[in-house]
Structure 1
Amino acid sequence: MSETAWILVLLAIVQLSGAQAPLRPSLEQTSLTNLLLQDLVENPLRDEYMLLVHDSASEVSSSFSVVAAAFRSHTSVVMSSMADFRLDDFPTHQVQGPNVTALVVFSSDEVFMFLDYLQLTFTWNPGHLVLVCSNSSVDAPRVLHHAVVLRSLYLVLFQLEQRRGRAIYKASDALPSAGQNGQLTFATSLRGQWKKGRFATKSDLFRYRFGDFRKAVIALASWCDDFPFIYLAGEGCKGSSLQALDYIGEVLNFSYIVQVEPQDLNWGDFENGNWTGMMGDLMFHNKQLAINYFYITPERGRDFDFTFPYEAEGFGFMLRLPPPLPQWKSLLYPFSSVIWGLVVATVVFVGIMFAGLYKLQNHHQKDSTDATALFLIIFSSMVRQSVSNAPTSWAWMRVWLGPWWLASIIVSLAYTCNLIAFLTIPVYPERIETVSDLAKADVRITMQDYGNFVPRALLASNDESLKTLGEKLDLFGYGVGYVPGGRMVLAGTHALIETKSYLFNQQIILNLSKTSYIMKDEVYSGHLSWFLPKNTPYTDRISRSLQSLREGGILLKLYREHMEAALGPAVQDKKVGRGDKSMELTLVLNHQTTGRGLDPARRRACTMCGRRNSMGVKTSRFLCASQASTFNRNFVSFYLHNLPSSNPRCVLIYIGNRRTLSIQFVAVCGKFVPILLVLVEGI
């Protein structure tokens, strides 16, 4: 059904329901409304590009045309009535974006029909929204809490009220808060009574609403089987992304609930016109944030909000290490086949030439030396053997043979040195390291079937190598872990494909670190981001906080800590996983780590309700922190950078088990902020 048809249907419903026309505003109310609009256009909204939308009741006001003319004289205004408003008539940049300001003036319930129409698509989302309700009988708070209104990052509502027989305009907005069961909702917050000149600037009119979430609980669309970002550990979930969310939650004053697995046990792909898995939970099941391994794709960008990318990674392949070549072949390994051919050809050529020259020189003399003996003289120098029986008449040839003896010594020394190395270290055949080589090899690929996009993407690829891999792909079921995949890798018949970080972990869990390797080539490398429902107003706030963690090096530190914790202390000083494609893991874990699909009952029993980190408990002037093991200087800088208050005077940090006192300084946003480090016993 077209948008015009929807408007006609909604108008018919209103008429059939017998809706009464709103009371006509009094002369005093009309005059006050005109003063408010004139104040807005002459002060905070001056020189703003603006979209002005009004209902029919406001349009028939005798002085609305005068106010509209004033708007046109001071600003760039696009004006429309609610009945005539069509999103298709406006380019996207006029109804969506941080630089778009929309003014909606209404005095009847027609505004609800207008908002319901806007909710049919994701198009409407002005960065700044001003609502003016000029009729006290209209349910203005209901308008303020409409889902379309809450899309805007900055918003303010002016509602007409009668107080002590006098008409006034009361300003309010909607701030995040903890609703039923602590879940994130929005509560009306009064801004005070409007007076001329009170909101003189745009910053006075619009206040930032997402500096404090007021202990709200965010519901995660998550799957605790995504090492090292979020995975099961003990009776709960942990991971580098959860720790990063802990830090952000401490700054913004919110907690979260972890979903152990999606309802349909799919990762999150667009299938048959609908989103599945965690993406489906964001769209249909009231989840508010997804922090698992998700790429930025055109489809996800169209239907969801996403943060700045925090990591780049792709899918890797794990194959069985080929067995070492037979030891007796080590005699041939020091030289390649080309070098061996040149050496043999040179020995034969020099031997024949030496024998010919010798016979030519002594053809008039009787000499019993045959050609074989002369050839052995040449060959013996190559194998570093002395000549004990040389003819007496060849003194002149010693000068001719000098370069040959020198070359023979160099070649034999090179061979001997390389032979020692090859006899000491086993020699393996050349490994498969590229996608094209894997496609040509007599090896199939395997993957767990958990609803990932890779199987379909391989089959639909225009690249011949990727398409060949898609045709050779064998899926094994979810719920049995990665043991079937490990067995196929160990048998040498398949290569296991999975995200690079997760593949490193599975290599250790399956005890394949000494018998397998991870191929250097990756497929479907991309940028990873956190995803939120479309038009979420606090997307930018979460994104900037995540970017601060990335720029401060904290995300990389968290990633390495979780990789090192799983892989063991031997890799503490090595760069693990991403960015180190040459590294091969040779460790075996002694502790148990649950892999994707293992122990479903344990996963379902796991709940995470409002877990909060103890660091960064904010007061008005101090930052108090505990737990020395988790203290990080970059975190302090990140915390101060994101503090809502402008000038924190001091940061007080309690760490350690000894008493000592020192003063240090950390540059934050171009300013030096003193940090008082107090090591207090017993913490």
Structure 2
Amino acid sequence: MKIKSIELLFMAVTIALTDAEPSNSLLSKLRNSMSSIQSHVKEQHTMRNLLEDVLIDLSRGPLKEKEVTLFLDASASPSEEEILLHQVPEATGIPKLLLQKNNGIDWSARKDHIDVFVGVIGVELPWLLSSPPHDWAVLSVLLIGIKQECDPRALLQTALAQRTPAVAALCPVKLGEQRNRLEFRVFTWRPLHPRRKLLPLGGWNASRFASWDQLFVDRFSSFGGVTLHVASNENDAPTLFRTNSSHWDGLGYRILSALAENYNFTFTLTVQSIDGMWGERRNGTWGGMLGDVYRGEKNLTINTIFVSYPRNAAFDISIPFKYEGIAFVIANPLPLPPWRSVIYPFTRMMWAVISGFLVVVSFTHCLLGSFVGKVSPFRDFLTIAQALVNQSNDAVPSSWTLRLFLMSWWFTAYVLVISYTCNLIAFLTIPKYPVKLQTAHELADSYHRVCMLNYGNETVEAFIVSRNPTLTTIAKKIDKVPLILTQPYTNAQECLELVTAGTHAMLDGDSYIANIVQDSGYADRTYFLKERVLESPTSFFFRKNTPWKYKFDEGMSRLVSSGCIGKWKEDIDQALKRTRYEKKPEGQQALKVEHLQGTFLVLVLGLGLALVTFMVERHLGRREKNQ
């Protein structure tokens, strides 16, 4: 072995120098060098055995059943490399190795998502710790220093450790009076602690660190009173808004306030981003609130921002606290003419059926009457029609056949008259509208265009790349309204004016657009399509690889499961309702002339028809008299 070869070499040099009777000083130096080398070799042998024991303890204890990626620093000596390459994988069954050799990386075992990263570090910190790949998602990091110069502060403040939720470091120390015994000490780092950031956990012992939680302690159980800076926009009710100049409210605000109280941190909010935008990537650069988070100027954003593939790749995203889609608001169609109210109680099909029955029943009555005596088709028709206008017959036929026949018809006519009368009362006072659009497909096929505030191209691109042909059709009809920060609702009213003009529908986030419509006084002139499109979870956005993001996930999960978020949402929605814009029920209402237009129109038509008939009869009477 290499150690034996070194020992034999120095023994031969020592014998040769002794036979040549060298000076005492030279012999003394050689003996001291030999002693130092033997001591170094012994320490190296001890470190090798200690490292092997620790790695095996880890694989059998806290890292059991975990997928581990081993990393060997280039400055590690050949002995440690031999352990990692041969003995440790065989003893622990760890198949994943990531080795740095000759300033290069063997990426054959690299994975973008790493469960446990175990690094064996030499004297110098490798670039993989100081500049890790941006797309790496590492859940836990364990760094093992194998040199006496090991500094846990330096290891735990590397970029890889700082962005990882669970971290720990092992550094060797000499113990005993003669300082001839080596032991690994375990440390972790609490970056948000106001004073004691480096936390010693004690000397390595397989029983002391037998579980995952014992080795990887929760570094963010408390945020230590740190202030988090939130990129926000006040114009996002019901998620975030201001009730006055100093008081904030909204679902996102209440969630963040609850987490701040639980984890001991404070936060700041902004009225809007510098450019007034929400979050769009243009020419490879993120802008708006998401741009502030991406550049590290802010820690997170809590506004309603939908999750998309580009955003998911560029940011850490919390668990969703609600689901929303894009809603469409469109103007109520003009009511149909009031004079038609007399025909609205029945559908066209129903009127056709009644007319058909009237003809068939009249014909049948005439046919049955022909077997009894002389009949008059016109008189039989009047006899049947009288029942539909609540008029009784002047005589009952003597034939029981006709009596039974009329009995069945009178009952049918009675039900028809009652049904018509009940519906007529409602239609006289409630305006009748044409059939409203209810789905995105109907909107796409209509003449309406679609307007939206110019937040960016994210929504339009989502419509364009959608596999739904309806959305791609709508994308071609979208007109963007300028986003003017000084205008109420950032100029949303300009879009709503196009809606009430009947030329456009407006799209935006479900709860946001509902609040704008209600708050700006358009609720009684517009309605929402029943269908929502591009439904997506709404979440908090963090800078990529934020190590404490998981604490927000834990807290938000408890708030969701306990029902707090649902209750807050309901309370906020109720508080945001503006009764001055709600259409109040009018209660009892006296009928007006416009309500009975149809009735008077029937009267006028009847009088006109009677007048024409009178003139015809008078003319015919004069002709007969003259003849």
User: In the alignment, is residue 54 of structure 1 matched against residue 54 of structure 2?
Assistant: no
1:439, distance to aligned residue in structure 2 (A):
1.7
Pick the aligned partner of 1:468 from 461, 468, 473. 473
Which of the numbers 54, 57, 62 marks the counterpart of 1:43?
Answer: 57
Alpha carbons of structure 1 residues 523 and 87: separation in structure 2 relative to 1, 3 Å: farther
Q: Are positions 1:171 and 2:186 aligned together?
A: yes
SS at match of 1:340: helix
Change (3 A) 1:462 1:412: same
Secondary structure at 1:101 match in 2: strand
**In structure 2, C-alpha distance between the alignment counterparts of 1:87 and 1:420, rounded to whole Å:** 84
* Corresponding residue number in structure 1 for 2:509: 499
3-state SS, counterpart of residue 559 of structure 1: helix
Q: CA deviation at 1:106?
A: 2.0
Mark the structure with the bigger radius of gyration.
2
Summarize deviations over 1:70-92 as a string: whole Å, max 9, x none: 42343123334322664741252
Q: Give 1:90's match in structure 2, choosing from 96, 109, 118.
A: 109
Quick one: which of 318, 326, 329 aligns to 2:337? 326
1:299 is matched with 310
Q: Percent sequence identity over matched residues?
A: 25
> Residue type of the partner of 1:280?
G
**Which residue, 210, 215, 225 being the options, matches 1:205?**
215
Shift of the alpha carbon at 1:314?
0.6
Deviation of the 1:452 alpha carbon: 5.6
Instruction: Say which SS state the counterpart of residue 225 (structure 1) adopts.
Output: coil
Q: Which residue, out of 370, 375, 384, partners 2:376? A: 370
Distance in 1 (CA, whole Å) between partners of 2:110 and 2:151 is 31
Q: Secondary structure at the match of 1:226?
A: coil
The total of aligned residue pairs comes to: 534
Question: Does the CA contact (< 8 Å) of 2:97 and 2:109 recur in 1?
Answer: no
- Structure 1: gaps spanning 5 or more residues: 1-22, 180-184, 571-583, 589-683
The 5 A counterparts of 1:1-150 are 26-27=40-41, 30=44, 33-34=47-48, 36-46=50-60, 47=64, 49-61=67-79, 65-66=82-83, 69-77=86-94, 78-83=96-101, 86=105, 88-92=107-111, 96-97=113-114, 100-109=115-124, 111-116=125-130, 119-123=132-136, 125=138, 127-137=139-149, 140-150=152-162
What is the CA distance between 1:347 and its match in structure 2? 0.9
Inter-partner Cα distance in structure 2 for 1:128 and 1:443: 54
Question: How far did residue 380 of structure 1 move?
Answer: 1.0
Amino acid at match of 1:406: F
Q: Report the more deviating stretch, 202-211 or 475-484.
A: 202-211
- Structure having the larger proportion of residues in helix: 2
Contact 2:98–2:106 (Cα < 8 Å) also in 1: no
What is the letter of the counterpart of residue 51 of structure 2?
Answer: L
| 8 Å contact kept, 1:315–1:522 | yes
Shifted more, 419-428 versus 404-413: the winner is 419-428
CA RMSD of aligned residues (A): 3.2
1-structure distance, mates of 2:137, 2:323: 31
Give structure 2 stretches of 5+ with no counterpart: 1-35, 586-627
Q: SS at the partner of 2:224?
A: coil
TM-superposed CA distance for 1:343, in Å, is 0.7
Output one character per residue of 1:328-383: Cα deviation in whole Å (capped at 9) or x when no partner: 21110111001101111111222123224434543xxxx5x632222211111222
Q: CA deviation at 1:140?
A: 4.9
Q: Which residue matches 1:581?
A: none
Q: Is the 8 A contact 1:219 1:289 kept in 2?
A: yes
* Alpha-carbon shift at residue 247 of structure 1 (Å): 0.9
- Equivalent position to 2:387, from 360, 364, 381: 381
CA distance in 1, matches of 2:99, 2:121: 10
Gap change, CA 1:417 and 1:204, over 3 Å in 2:
closer
1:256 aligns to what? 267
- Taking the aligned partners of 2:408 and 2:98, their CA distance within structure 1 comes to 97
Given that 1:549 and 1:555 are in contact with CA atoms closer than 8 Å, whether structure 2 keeps it comes out as yes
Q: Assess if the C-alpha contact under 8 Å between 1:222 and 1:261 holds in 2.
A: yes
Report deviation, 1:266: 2.5
Q: Distance in 1 between matches of 2:207 and 2:471?
A: 65
Residues 29, 215 of structure 1: CA spacing in aligned structure 2 closer, same or farther, 3 A cutoff? farther
The secondary structure found in structure 2 opposite 1:264 is coil
Please say if residues 37 and 67 of structure 1, whose CA atoms lie closer than 8 Å, have aligned partners that are also in contact.
Answer: no
CA distance in 1, matches of 2:196, 2:306: 30
* Structure-2 change in CA distance of 1:37 and 1:359 (3 Å): same
What is the one-letter code of the residue matched to 1:232? R
Deviation of 1:309 after TM superposition, in Å, equals 2.0
Residue 546 of structure 1: CA displacement?
0.3
Query: In the TM superposition, what are the counterparts of 1:213-362 in structure 2 within 5 Å?
Result: 213-236=223-246, 237-362=248-373
2:76 counterpart SS class: helix
Question: Taking structure 1 as reference, are residues 178 and 217 closer, same or farther at Cα in structure 2, changes over 3 Å only?
Answer: farther
User: Match of 1:312, SS?
Assistant: strand
Deviates more, 1:454-463 or 1:25-34: 25-34
- Aligned residues of 1:514 and 1:587 also touching (Cα < 8 A): no
Q: For the residues of structure 2 that align with 1:350 and 1:79, how far apart are their CA atoms?
A: 93
Query: Contact conserved, 2:72 with 2:81, CA < 8 A, in 1?
Result: no
The 1:156/1:30 distance shift into structure 2, 3 A limit, reads farther
Partner-residue secondary structure (3-state), 1:330: helix
Counterparts of 1:586 and 1:393 in 2: how far apart (Å)?
59
Measured in 2, the distance between the counterparts of 1:569 and 1:483 equals 20
Is the CA contact (8 Å cut-off) linking 2:130 and 2:159 kept in structure 1? no
Query: Matched residues in 1 for 2:51 and 2:281: separation?
Result: 46
**How far apart are the structure 1 equivalents of 2:106 and 2:284?**
23
Query: Which amino acid is the alignment partner of residue 438 of structure 1?
Result: L
Q: Give deviations 1:560-617, integer Å, cap 9, x for gaps.
A: 22222211579xxxxxxxxxxxxx96489xxxxxxxxxxxxxxxxxxxxxxxxxxxxx
Q: Single out whichever of 251-260 and 263-272 deviates more from structure 2.
A: 263-272
**SS in structure 1 at match of 2:101:** coil
Give the drift of 1:160: 4.3
- 2:616 is matched with none
1:426 aligned partner, one-letter code:
P
